[in-house]
């Protein structure tokens, strides 16, 4: 199973090239424990890990044990069900780590058992879940996982009183943001952010050039926008969702097979998602200076007393050392809502 997990990770980090599918690895073992073949899933439209391994094994798969990181799927999508492929190959035993959280694909284990195949579950289940942490949670929620990212000063300002915000965060923080953007398949902002800030919303390198497969750029809101906004250029796909309802927006993105939304909108959009419990992860970059006035990082949440404060759990705290002369270190917090806040 350790080898299967390594194979699953071989495709690299999750992102636009892997979603809406999970990363999965499979190892086929002979009756004596020797390895017959191995495989992994390379992304949407390609063979699943089990089929990849079975195609290499051929007749040697008959009587084998399949060790796979995720419960074999039980539905027909871009490809056929892996549970049926294992049955037809004559596999005698299947050991899998994580149960499939997707109700559309689940049921493979029962199908295998009904066919007389020995099935065992749970070996390295936590490790498999962590490998596909965002995908798993999205499948459980049946909506895209939402990461809200913002940068702030020590006094909680995301822009100065005159509206200037470049740069609240350091160069190191901005480079880190691009690495995190690359892990999502969707960038989301509101119409005001597009109209005022005109962001490109692409994943870029040190020279500020777009790199890799780009997330879908989504602007949310009913306001009309000029076609010359950078979000509508040819550097990446884009979409205008003419709704102000976070649930409606996420439902449409889910139907479009989007699994991880990186929310970079302004304080109003952030508050709208927070108020209805649709933020799963928060990434905050804190710069070591004060403004005393200016735009807050989040709009009014209706909180009137300290006992009602929104208190996410801190998952990690990291100091980002300067990436350019004269800059101060920034601190990155990664947080997630407590139980009951979603």
Is position 26 annotated in a ligand binding site?
Answer: no
Is position 269 annotated in a ligand binding site?
Answer: yes
Is position 341 annotated in a ligand binding site?
Answer: no
Rounded distance between C-alpha atoms, residue 37 and residue 176, angstroms: 38
Q: Which residues are catalytic?
A: 50
CB-based burial of residue 67 (10 Å sphere; 0-12 exposed, 13-18 middle, 19+ buried)? buried
In terms of phi and psi (left: phi > 0; alpha: psi -120 to 50; beta: otherwise), the region of 92 is alpha
Is position 271 annotated in a ligand binding site?
Answer: yes
Is position 272 annotated in a ligand binding site?
Answer: yes
Is position 267 annotated in a ligand binding site?
Answer: yes
Is position 160 annotated in a ligand binding site?
Answer: no
Is position 151 annotated in a ligand binding site?
Answer: yes
Cis status of the peptide bond prior to 41, with omega within 30 of 0: no
Rounded distance between C-alpha atoms, residue 211 and residue 57, angstroms: 36
Closest CA to 127 of 22, 2, 42: 2
Is position 181 annotated in a ligand binding site?
Answer: yes
Structure-token match 């009913």, residue found: 222
Rounded distance between C-alpha atoms, residue 277 and residue 301, angstroms: 12
Is position 323 annotated in a ligand binding site?
Answer: no
Rounded distance between C-alpha atoms, residue 33 and residue 224, angstroms: 63
Q: Which residues are annotated as a binding site for substrate?
A: 165, 167, 181, 201, 204, 264
Q: Which residues are annotated as a binding site for Zn(2+)?
A: 48, 73, 82
Q: Which residues are annotated as a binding site?
A: 48, 73, 82, 151, 165, 167, 181, 193, 197, 201, 204, 222, 264, 266-272
């Amino acid at each position: 199973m350790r080898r299967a997990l390594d194979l699953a990770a071989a495709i690299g980090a999750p992102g636009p090239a892997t979603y809406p599918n999970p990363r999965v690895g499979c190892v086929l073992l002979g009756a004596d424990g020797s390895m017959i073949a191995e495989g992994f899933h390379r992304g949407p439209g390609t063979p699943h890990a089990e089929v990849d391994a079975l195609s290499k094994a051929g007749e040697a798969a008959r009587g084998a044990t399949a060790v796979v990181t995720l419960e074999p799927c039980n539905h027909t999508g871009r490809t056929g069900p892996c549970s049926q492929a294992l049955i037809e190959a004559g596999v005698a035993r299947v050991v899998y780590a994580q149960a499939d959280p997707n109700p559309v694909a689940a049921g493979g284990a029962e199908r295998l058992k009904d066919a007389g195949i020995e099935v065992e579950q749970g070996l390295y289940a936590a490790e498999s879940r962590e490998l596909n942490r965002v995908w798993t949670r999205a499948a459980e929620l049946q909506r895209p996982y939402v990461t809200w990212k913002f940068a702030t000063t020590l006094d909680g300002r995301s822009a100065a009183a005159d509206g200037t915000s470049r740069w609240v965060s350091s160069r190191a923080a901005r480079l880190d943001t691009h690495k995190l953007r690359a892990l999502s398949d969707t960038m989301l902002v509101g119409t005001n952010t597009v109209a005022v800030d005109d962001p490109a919303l692409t994943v870029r390198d040190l020279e500020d050039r777009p790199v890799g497969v780009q997330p879908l750029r989504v602007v949310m809101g009913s306001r009309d926008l000029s076609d010359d906004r950078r979000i509508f250029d040819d550097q990446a796909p884009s979409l205008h969702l003419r709704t102000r309802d976070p649930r409606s927006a996420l439902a449409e993105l889910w139907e479009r097979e989007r699994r991880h939304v990186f929310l970079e909108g302004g304080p109003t959009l952030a508050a709208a998602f927070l108020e209805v419990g649709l933020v799963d992860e928060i990434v905050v970059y804190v710069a070591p200076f004060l403004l005393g006035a200016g735009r807050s990082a989040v709009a009014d949440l209706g909180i009137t007393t300290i006992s009602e404060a929104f208190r996410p759990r801190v998952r990690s705290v990291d100091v980002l050392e300067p990436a350019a002369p004269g800059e101060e270190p920034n601190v990155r917090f990664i947080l997630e809502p407590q139980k009951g806040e979603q």
